[in-house]
Amino acid sequence: MERIRLGKSDVYVSPLGLGTWAWGDTSVWDYGESYDDEDLMQSYNASLESGINFIDTAEAYAEGKSESIIGRFVSETSTRKQVIIATKFVPSRLRILRSQLVAALRRSLRRLGLSHVDLYQIHWPGDFIPIETWMHALADAVEAGLTRAVGVSNFSVEETKRAHAILAARGVPLASNQIPYNLLHSMPQRNGMADLCRELDVTIIAHSPLCQGMLGGKFTPTHPPPGLRGRKYDHDFLIKTKPLLGLMKEIGHAHDGKSPAQVALNWTMCKGAVPIPGAKNVKQARENLGSHGWRLSDGEVRALDKASEAVQI
Ligand SMILES: NC(=O)c1ccc[n+]([C@@H]2O[C@H](COP(=O)([O-])OP(=O)(O)OC[C@H]3O[C@@H](n4cnc5c(N)ncnc54)[C@H](OP(=O)(O)O)[C@@H]3O)[C@@H](O)[C@H]2O)c1
């Protein structure tokens, strides 16, 4: 699998990665019920064996458990040299000092069992402490050798510009902005974010590229998603998205039977973003891997864009 440079950093990732929010999480996801650590280990191994090298986690995921699970897998499989590990800092209201970011990163590193991560991101801009503080703290983390590159997440166009400028003044490139980007949330191509990131050479990492499984095609008005997702993606939503999913199936069929999930991920890659789909088991990991190695035509991308216009979240 080819590699993509994250912005102007020296970190190179596979065209799609592996998201691990669900690893250990019981608040939104059903860890311990429909999947366990053995399933996660198999999806980790299958992903690495197929050329994926990019794993995304966060201190917030299952209160650090996702990081701990990854740390165990990396150590048990001796795969540190193969993987690019990204994690994230929560800019909570209890965090007011620049030094708290480096302290939080050190705790993440302990859970991951690593001396440094490859990408450290601010999980969201926060509304209490100015972005400037956290950008300087990220640059401090690079200087301390605790991360190779830095990124932001859920930053707006204006916030991304500011973050980029502050880091640039410290001689540190802003490698990435991790944002929701999928067929049901294609705002980045309309609000100037995609253009800005291209202009500044900041890689877009597409989180929730399957819209939390809604683009996988298995949920229908008569078979809605379980738990919290069922409230967010309700009956009306599932009725409205049927035509889009129908087109995705049709297009996938024309590409040797690619699934809706594979079409959704390929669309994200066609947009120049790096999707990080979550996979709870090896079947999902393998299916998601099948989104790579072929390409939707420009006409198909346009048709999907058009069909998704009416169902934007
Ligand atoms: N920065 C942020 O604020 C932020 C926010 C959200 C996510 N993220 C990152 O992005 C990653 C991915 O996002 P996400 O986990 O929210 O959602 P996602 O990748 O859009 O969807 C993942 C879920 O879809 C289902 N799925 C996976 N592969 C499938 C397939 N081939 N066919 C059908 N269903 C499939 C699984 O759930 P079921 O089997 O239960 O349906 C899986 O847990 C996260 O793990 C995290 O690393 C970041």
Quick: pLDDT tens for 52-85: 999 999 999 999 999 999 999 999 999 999 999 9
Cβ of 258 closer than 6 Å to ligand 1, yes or no, is no
Q: Considering its fold, how many domains does the chain have in total?
A: 1
- Chain segment 271-287, per-residue pLDDT in tens: 999 999 999 999 999 99
Give the Å distances, CA to CA, from 290 to 154, 251, 280: 27, 15, 16
What is the arithmetic mean of pLDDT over 159-168? 98
Q: Any idea what the CATH number is for the domain that residue 75 is in?
A: 3.20.20.100
Identify the bridge partners of residue 119 per DSSP, sorted by sequence position: 86, 149
> In the structure, what pLDDT confidence band is assigned to residue 310 with cuts at 50, 70 and 90?
confident
> In the structure, what pLDDT confidence band is assigned to residue 94 with cuts at 50, 70 and 90?
very high
Quote the CA–CA distance of 59 and 53 in Å, as a whole number.
20
Cβ of 178 closer than 6 Å to ligand 1, yes or no, is yes
Is residue 12 annotated as part of the catalytic site, yes or no? no
- Chain segment 211-247, per-residue pLDDT in tens: 999 999 999 999 999 888 888 899 999 999 999 999 9
SS3 content of the chain, % helix, strand, coil (to 5): 45, 15, 40
Q: What percent of the chain has pLDDT over 70?
A: 100
Ligand 1, pocket-test mutation among 182, 210, 211, 265, most atoms within 8 A of CB: 210
C-alpha closest to that of 128 among 153, 155, 91, 98: 91
> In the structure, what pLDDT confidence band is assigned to residue 188 with cuts at 50, 70 and 90?
very high
> In the structure, what pLDDT confidence band is assigned to residue 11 with cuts at 50, 70 and 90?
very high
Which of 35, 61, 120, 181 is labelled catalytic? 61
Tokens of 161: 């510009």
Domain that holds residue 49: 4-311
In angstroms, how far apart are the furthest CA atoms of the chain?
54
- Nearest-CA residue for atom 27 of ligand 1: 279
- Nearest-CA residue for atom 14 of ligand 1: 208
> In the structure, what pLDDT confidence band is assigned to residue 127 with cuts at 50, 70 and 90?
confident
- Nearest-CA residue for atom 47 of ligand 1: 19
Cβ of 19 closer than 6 Å to ligand 1, yes or no, is yes
> In the structure, what pLDDT confidence band is assigned to residue 128 with cuts at 50, 70 and 90?
confident
The residue whose two tokens read 């590409």 is: 255
CA angle 284, 288, 290 (to 5 degrees): 120
